[in-house]
Chain A
């Protein structure tokens, strides 16, 4: 009786384990072609890699699945098909969304600090380091010892050595 019961359990266990495998099958589907024209897609990707998704601001449009990025990608595809140059497309977007959409900001009077700020900080830090090192060199100037002082120092050191041995 007990044996039989165990057998039933085993069948259920196996069935249960099989059920756990179902998600692994993952109902595969055939991939939908991203775009009819791989050339257009390549150019679009190259362009959108340097464009900021304004909704998810730390993600480029090429990586983002936001609705906004979908729209911009579609717009860029259409413009590429309409034979617009890369510069024209980027300008089109900057006209509407501002320089903020560019990950690579142009050099302008308003972006000077952005471009040269780090260099300026580095120069200031370097200057401070040089000044500091110079001052320290003055502080640790070598002091010349007289022969008597040297002899005393040696005697003291010898004493200490002896003391340690004891």
Chain B
């Protein structure tokens, strides 16, 4: 009896591991930046190219940094949600226009709506590297002290907003 049960048991353990493996997403690489200060930047704004926005401007408030580009197809999926979130006034969203061209970026915003308080321009992707961006869209939640509290890799979904992002933002806003 045992000689049949042992292989069966071993197989079941292996199958359990493989089953768990199926539900994991290898694209979701945990960011080492969580709970670390958001990398500083000083970048030109998209709408007013001669004005600069600094990451320090947002100290004291909870904000979202959404990395987007007009060439990014998945950004189109999440965009209506961002527009809706911006309208709700829960949290200001800042856009990091990643490796894009100004004219197409502006056109894209005109066409799909502009949820961003300010969009800043990262033409050569340098700030993107600082934030560990490897696939657009990515979205960061940054708290009042300028600490990254959450990173969403890939498009924001209704589920991720309702389950994680919005509750987290509300909690962070309560903090001093």
Interface residues of A (CB under 8 A from B): 54-55, 57, 67-68, 71-72, 75, 94-100
Distance in angstroms between the alpha carbons of A8 and B60 in the assembled complex: 85
We find that the number of chain B residues with CB closer than 8 angstroms to chain A is 18
- Counting from the closest, the 5 A-B pairs by CB-CB distance are A54-B134, A96-B132, A98-B32, A100-B29, A71-B125
Q: Please tell me if the beta carbons of A96 and B32 are within 8 angstroms of each other in the complex.
A: yes
- Docked Cα-Cα span, A72 to B33, in Å, equals 18
Q: List 29 A-B contacts (CB under 8 A).
A: A54-B29, A55-B134, A57-B26, A57-B27, A67-B99, A68-B134, A71-B124, A71-B125, A71-B128, A71-B129, A72-B129, A75-B129, A94-B32, A95-B32, A96-B32, A96-B33, A96-B129, A96-B130, A96-B131, A96-B132, A97-B29, A97-B32, A97-B132, A97-B134, A98-B30, A98-B31, A98-B132, A99-B32, A100-B30
- Chain B interface mostly helix, strand, loop or mixed? loop
Please tell me if B49 contacts chain A, counting CB pairs below 8 Å: no
B125:A98 contact, CB within 8 angstroms:
no
Which residues of B are found within 8 Å of A75, using beta-carbon distances? 126, 129
Bound-state CA distance A95–B131 (Å) is 10
Number of residue pairs spanning A and B whose beta carbons lie under 8 angstroms apart: 38
The reply on B135 being an interface residue by CB < 8 A is yes
Report the nearest A residue to B6, measured CB to CB.
Answer: A128
For the complex, give the distance between the alpha carbons of A54 and B125 in Å.
15
Interface residues of B (CB under 8 A from A): 26-27, 29-33, 99, 124-126, 128-132, 134-135
CB distance from B56 to the nearest CB of A (A): 20
The CA-CA distance from A95 to B27 in the complex, in Å, is 18
Query: Who on chain B is nearest to A75 by CB?
Result: B129
B126 CB contacts on chain A under 8 angstroms: 75
- Residues of chain A within 8 A of B26, CB atoms compared: 57
Between B26, B27, B33, B132, the greatest number of chain A beta carbons within 10 A of the residue's beta carbon is seen for: B132
Cβ distance A81 to chain B, nearest Cβ, rounded Å: 15
